[in-house]
Amino acid sequence: MIIAVVGPTGVGKTKLSVKLAQKYQGIIVNFDAVQVYKALDIGSAKVTEQEKEGIEHFLLDIKSPDEEYSVKEYQDDVRKILDKYHNRNIIMVGGTGLYLCAALFDYRFEEEKKSVTYDDLSNEELYQLALKKDPNMQIHPNNRVRLVRFLNKEIIKNVEPKLLYPNVHFIGLTTNRDKLYSIINNRVDKMIEMGLIDEVKNVYHKYPHSKVLHTAIGYKEIISYLNGDTSLEQAIDIIKQKSRNYAKRQYTWFNNKMDVNWVETNYEHFDDTVEQVINIIENKKPNL
């Protein structure tokens, strides 16, 4: 079976995925668009070797920060893994909804069309159009060439997207809004304490033109600070605000795109959360 663990940052997805992999002797597959990149560890809240507890993880650290990685490339890579390990239980975990949909549903990508140039639109207008097409897209507002290319690519979806794999369970972890926002704010502070500034500084020095550095939340704001455009306090506040807004968009995406069984995280007694999830998996008919 495939268990997809979804939800915003800070709700315990990583911890739950490891617990489920241990329970069902499974492997874990990442669907976070930033965690595919090497060296982007603190800012993406990437699972540590200690947190993996010996469980095999896939699609982490597969790209250099100066490489581009499309949803279509992720789809190709993840489906090879899903097919290769079809006889294993697979736990998918992450926060990039489009990656998960492209992996499990009948999403098809056409070749680039060059019929529309968008010469009459400003960069900002192009950027807003691109965000409308995919709220998770990561293209810098001033990268006009990539914005036009992105807008000329079509994602073909069925009216009712069809799951391509049998026996899929969508499990979402959640908590109340005030608790979530507090967790997000504290997590950003902890990232700073853990060395996020040095992480960004080192990667930015090696890859100053990296697309993901200039678009991912937590990285572009620190770059702005390093370039002297904002104070560190301002950068941290912006990271917190954008992380909270992104969490809201994640809830909307997952609720609209898939049939998620939501479970409220019990932070004090996480084993209770795990047991509740296991009961859902073992007693509820999976998505087919």
Residues 54 and 118 in one domain: no
Residues 142 and 260 in one domain: no
- The C-alpha atoms of residue 61 and residue 67 are separated, in whole angstroms, by 12
Query: pLDDT digits over 107-126, tens only?
Result: 887 655 556 778 888 888 88
Residues 64 and 132 in one domain: no
Residues 181 and 82 in one domain: yes
Q: Does residue 288 belong to any structural domain of this protein?
A: no
Domain that holds residue 135: 111-153
- The C-alpha atoms of residue 148 and residue 160 are separated, in whole angstroms, by 28
- The C-alpha atoms of residue 105 and residue 100 are separated, in whole angstroms, by 8
Residues 6 and 71 in one domain: yes
Q: Does residue 18 belong to any structural domain of this protein?
A: yes
CATH code (residue 277): 3.40.50.300
Is residue 152 over pLDDT 90? no
Of the listed ranges 36-40, 108-112, 278-282, the least confidently predicted one is: 108-112
Q: What torsion do the CA atoms of 22, 92, 39, 230 make, to the nearest 10 degrees?
A: -120
Instruction: Tally the domains of the chain.
Output: 2
Residues 60 and 84 in one domain: yes
Rounded to the nearest integer, the mean pLDDT of the chain is 91
Residues 92 and 102 in one domain: yes
**Residue 179 has which token pair?**
């608790």
Last residue of one domain, picked from the residues 153, 183, 213: 153
Query: pLDDT digits over 200-255, tens only?
Result: 999 999 999 999 999 999 999 999 999 999 999 999 999 999 999 999 989 988 98
Last residue of one domain, picked from the residues 122, 153, 184: 153
In this prediction, residue 112 carries a pLDDT of 52
Residues 257 and 131 in one domain: no
**Residue 185 has which token pair?**
């704010």
Residues 91 and 221 in one domain: yes
